[in-house]
Structure 1
Amino acid sequence: MDSKDKGLFSMHSGNGPLSYVKNSSYQGGVLEAAKAIIEEEIATRLEIPNNSCLCVAEFGCSTGNNSFPAMQTIIEAIKYKYQSSNLKTPEFYVCFNDVVSNDFNTLFSSLPLDRSYEVAAVPGDFHGRLLPPSSVHFAYSSWALQWLTEVPKAAEGLKSPAWSGREREEVYDAYLGQFERDIESFLKCRAVEMVDGGIMALLIPGIPDLWDPQKESTVVSRVELLRSSLVDMAKMGRLSVAKSRIFNLPYYFPTADELRAILQKSNIFSIERMEILKCGTFLNIDGHVACLRAVHQNMLAHKFGAETIDETFDLLKKKFYASPVYADPSKDKTIMIVAILKHNNV
């Protein structure tokens, strides 16, 4: 695949902040694969305080289905470290963060009854400050940091959803630049909120350096199919041509090298470990369509009207079935990048 196609998405709801929607089919397998990494890094790198309480924060929690197993893993690993160090186990507090429009009612109503921590909701954009200084000991974010704060200006001026040549390169650079600025903003805010020696675990969906779109798929290629479905709907007169041409989504899926280069610029956090995990879904075509619909349905309905949703995703399903790539789950080359960062006293 051309390097300028690798991480680019070009859709945006245009109607304010979105919840950091997570793909549960990816999340389950990824967390299981990342569990050993998180446990090992807590055991070897987390500097535990001899305090009466300890705070864990998740940034981009959604409604909790994928958050609760992650929080259980983190807290059990920290508990074990306290016990191994012959220190009294503190009280645990978990701060669940997502944008203000997130369904926190569902999150709180589905909290595990046997949890060993108290909880608080922290609504707000995680690219800004959210918590008191030096209050967080372990920060966690999964399947959320790919969302951008805005569509780059270079994409807003596009007259057609089909880019080519120098124009596409400029848009690619603009998206990568926006992703970098947003990650830097996220880290700058967490640098104030986290204690010295605190650990951050970031699980960010991405794509490999090289993949063959004729024989393989990624999350990028699947959204490109959705975008092409919108274009076809417009050609059939079912959607506004003008709206379909300027409809952009604010997210970017990096390669591991792109993410590493951005994280290395931080003078507050050091990269302790980076691993590339295969997402390894077992989704069939219907599963892929269902996931795309779950993430995009509300924003598409807002932009184009609820009456177009069924037809759009029926067309998308036909596009999936027309390509043998999507019938074989082993052809999915989407990756999850696990980055373990440590807050340094500088």
Structure 2
Amino acid sequence: MADVARLAGVSAQTVSRVSNGEPNVVDTTRETVLRAMAELGYRPNSAARALKRGAFRAIGVITFTLATTGNVRTLEGIVASAAAQDHAVTLIPVDAPTQDAVRGAFTRAGELAVDAVIAIMETHLVGDAPAFFPPGVKVVVADSDDAGDRHPVVDTDQRAGARAAVEHLLGLGHATVHHVAGPEHSYAAQRRRDAWRATLEAAGRPVPGVLHGDWSPESGYALGLRLAEDPSCTAVFAANDQMALGILRAMHDRGRRVPDEVSVVGFDDVPEAASFIPPLTTIRQDFEQIGALCVERVLGQVRGDGPATGTTLVPTELVVRESTAPHRG
């Protein structure tokens, strides 16, 4: 910094102000300092700057897995929004859904020098215990249980999305809707399953037995084969697009035409959904908005002007394509 100051003919304090992006520097002086920085190859010491201002401009993201579409796309939204606000993201994986593992992740977050944490808590902990969040930590929870009374929570409106899927199929004249749910330990799968059942009950329709997959196309295919053998099955709501893809293949392999004989709806609207055969009717989630809201809420806590509790639900959208059609029975 002293070398830059000598070359630019200014004080070290002026170099510091330019380096930190402070506004109280004359434009011509700022340009002179920036040219001197470029000529000397000067780079600010981020660690020293963090110690001086007491902030690291980094957000930790705790997650159990990146194997699911929802987690990956939520993380993409978080990274994009954080970068737009000049913050880095540090990924902190949790190797097991246990209280000790979550506690260890928060310990690592402290060691990695982050200002706040976004926890993507998509699964129940063993024993259904509430997740451990150390007191005083700035934290926002994504895709979680109903923890809005304890922490800010950001989630897709899972119930509204599932309800829209079922109502769409009933509106096409199907007597009922079968459901291929996600894993029983998943909060999102639980909400979608509960809304599917409640929507059928509210419409006075029979509620078929629920089938649980693991989010993968393989599980959707295995369960789709079972549904294909049931002639009364004319409509299926899959809890995600990947399982819906497996169901489409199972129906094809068993000679049941989609949508002529069976209508199928997914959830997520993955980029490939429009290229499925047939193109998949699905529920679109706005993962970019979820990520942006997570960053907004957690940085609000860092600044001291954001809410400490409360749940924000991001709306979903029914996207109708060619995998659903009126019932022809």
State whether TM-score is above 0.5.
Answer: no
| TM-score, normalised with respect to structure 1 | 0.32
Higher relative contact order (CA 8 A, sep 6+): 1
| TM-score, normalised with respect to structure 2 | 0.33
Bigger Rg, which one: 2
